[in-house]
Structure 1
Amino acid sequence: MNKVLAYVSGKIETTGEGCFVGDKKIDCPRQGLPITSDQTVKTRSGSSWQTDILPANFMKDQRNDSVFYSIFGLVLVIFIVLFISRLKIFGKTLIEYIKPIWYYIVLSLAVVAFQYLYLVEHYSPPLARISQAVWVLAVALSVYILIKKHDFKFKQILIVGILYSFIIHGTKVLIRYFFYDSSIFYVLDRFIYGSLLVMVIAIIIGSVFSILKNRGIKI
């Protein structure tokens, strides 16, 4: 019988007794696949977790509140300044990027909340796949609407992808760091990986609809 990987958010630690997120035992990820040394990060407690993007020696696997709060504060200040100053990025203000698709943004945040508040304790493979598909669909529909109804260009769609990266995976970073005691290395690796997925979706969908619209094909 095939094993199913449970959707549990947080740092996966491997011990002699198996894999754990906090005190919750889960199926070890990537079973049956070789784990190379540049994927495995050893923690101070002797446990380990596997990276998605960054090499294991990229940085120390530890929490550093001063660094985390500095980065978080900088990102927050940037968004506040963009919001208040109405500074335009590729001809659009932050409000002009967000307002036409605000309901999809809310939907994406609802998916994140669902994943962490419900799926962590009540894992269901179909629900896990559906929740992932919902935020993917939200990003894709946002790109479609902005191109079709608001005449967004490809470079502006790239900004939309960046915004969604911070909205979806930035929120996950906060949850993982504050509620799951994750290290900066761990949340950074997951943020980059998740953001790359968002950008790929935005780039592919944006490219297709931009080309179709430029050729005069109705979308």
Structure 2
Amino acid sequence: MIVPLVRGRRTARTATCALALCACLTSMGAPASAEAAPVVGNGGFETPVIAGQALYDTGSGIGEWNVTTGSVDLIGRDGPWRAARGRQSLDLTGNRRGAIEQTISTTPGRCYTASFALAGNTYGAPVVKTGYARVTQGLLLTQKDFSFDTTGKTPQSMGYVWERFTFCAQDSSAVLSLASTTDGLYGPVVDDVVVIPRPRCIGIGFDLGAGSEETSLEE
């Protein structure tokens, strides 16, 4: 089963939810969760360290990430464009559309927000780069489709945005993947992949701020 995520403004909460939110905020003197966030290994694609760029084909590893289909380009500190964070980033279309994945630890019943910086390779068509982020838990898929318009963007001003989506854990682990649906040689660029627990109210069953978001990143 696929759980699609729709971009847009959040709908208004009902009066009941608003009351639950007030009760929750009143009780939240400490941080929202004492649980450790799932560790996304090499979320900034800083390993291995490269100078320019390097192609990774199906079956290759990029730190904790595995290239599962196609190929991807790792862009280094002296590569053709700026990273969103740190010095390296990843083009999800290498010499063809590619996909990467890794397994992360989760707590059953807990909800999480996955986020990543998104831009696009400005060196060639198509202008709009597309792909998806996905969390797989057995037969349950939570998927967020994304697109990025490179119009007016340059290698020194990539216009990164932060894409976010929420999923709820069914087991002690989940598979996080990012994939391109852009053919050719110039695809979506990703960086700074993070997964964090969402605030919640114990006993109320109310998850704060669930939904998908897109936020601009200052360069």
Higher strand share: 2
Smaller-chain TM-score bracket: under 0.3
Higher helix share: 1
The structure having more radius of gyration, on CA atoms, is: 1
Using CA pairs under 8 Å that are at least 6 residues apart, name the structure with larger relative contact order, 1 or 2.
2
Tell me the TM-score normalized by structure 2: 0.26
Tell me the TM-score normalized by structure 1: 0.26
